[in-house]
């Protein structure tokens, strides 16, 4: 699957979600390699409050890795080329599950993002959002922070299966303000990179086929900052994941194991 170069913009979630014809058109286009950007999907001031909270969590508690399984607590972890990860990268991740409570009522406030994701994936709008997993899968909200001078994610593809066609990414940092170089990209067939951070603003959501090669180029590589300074790039993955004991799990494909970052 390759990115076609076609970029569409959406300004009204409700109009799209309530139109079967428009959903079918978006599904067909994303299946073919187009991308969609939904503008102002989440208020930036809401995201700023979340960032402040997550920074306090990171600075005052020890990061730990947890398997995705029913009853798993919300947690944060550091991925510093962690060998347990499907894709090599360097970032700080904060993970939330629908069976746990949180201060920001995340799954309620982001349900419209999930509804469109699920409808595009030919699922019921509220699929996987319940407190009990469905078909061996659960919704998972994952905030990711890429520190300046360290943060990256190797180019890769994510699995497309019965649970998803697209993995929406919510922009939380402004390129040129919060960081200068690097950022999230999608590759065209000729290897050209289109940086989604160049064409989206905090609060926008990007939908694209998970089988398109994508990644995160190192953030401000000439700057050497401490993890806990929290200078760098934030984003949010609006994900649906298979549980760790799901027999149909397919690993994400890392296409750049030997790439130099």
Instruction: State the pLDDT at residue 224.
Output: 81
- Reading the block at residue 65, the tokens are 């890795």
CA-to-CA dists, residue 88 to 56, 101, 146, 220, angstroms: 26, 30, 13, 18
Query: DSSP assignment of 176-225, as one string?
Result: TTTBSS-EEEEEBTTS-EEEGGGS--TT-EEEEBTTS-EEEEPSSTT---
Cβ-proximal residues to 240 (8 Å cutoff; 6+ apart), any chain:
117, 118, 128, 137, 138, 139, 140, 163, 164
Local structure of residue 152 (DSSP, 8 states)? E
User: What is the full per-residue pLDDT of the chain (261 aa) written as tens digits?
Assistant: 889 889 999 998 988 999 999 999 999 999 999 999 999 999 999 999 999 999 999 999 999 999 999 999 999 999 987 666 667 899 999 999 999 999 999 999 999 999 999 999 999 999 999 999 999 999 999 999 999 999 999 999 988 898 999 999 999 999 999 999 999 999 998 989 999 999 999 999 999 999 999 999 999 999 987 889 999 999 999 999 999 888 664 443 333 333 333
Place of tokens 């919704």: 139
Domains and CATH numbers, the chain: 7-243 (2.60.120.620)
């Amino acid at each position: 699957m390759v990115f076609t170069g076609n970029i569409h913009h959406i300004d009204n979630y409700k109009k799209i979600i309530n139109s079967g014809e428009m959903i079918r058109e978006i599904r067909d286009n994303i299946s073919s390699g187009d991308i969609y950007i939904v503008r102002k999907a989440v208020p930036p001031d809401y995201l700023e409050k979340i960032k402040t909270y997550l920074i306090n969590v990171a600075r005052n508690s020890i990061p730990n890795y947890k398997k995705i399984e029913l009853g798993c607590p919300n947690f944060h972890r550091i991925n510093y080329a962690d060998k347990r990860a499907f894709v090599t990268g360097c970032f700080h991740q904060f993970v939330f599950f629908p069976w746990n409570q949180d201060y920001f009522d995340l799954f309620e406030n982001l349900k419209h993002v999930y509804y469109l994701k699920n409808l595009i994936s030919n699922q019921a709008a509220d699929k996987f959002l319940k407190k009990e997993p469905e078909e061996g899968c659960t919704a998972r909200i994952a905030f990711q922070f890429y520190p300046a001078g360290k943060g990256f994610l190797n180019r890769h593809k994510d699995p497309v299966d019965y649970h998803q066609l697209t993995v929406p990414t919510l922009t939380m940092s402004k390129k040129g303000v919060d960081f200068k170089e690097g950022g999230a990209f999608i590759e065209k067939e000729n290897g050209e990179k289109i940086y989604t951070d160049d064409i989206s603003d905090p609060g926008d959501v990007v939908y694209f086929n998970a089988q398109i090669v994508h990644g995160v180029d190192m953030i401000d590589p000439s700057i050497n900052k401490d993890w806990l300074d929290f200078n760098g790039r934030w984003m949010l993955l609006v994900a649906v994941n298979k549980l760790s004991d799901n027999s149909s799990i397919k690993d994400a494909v890392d296409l750049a194991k030997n790439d130099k970052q």
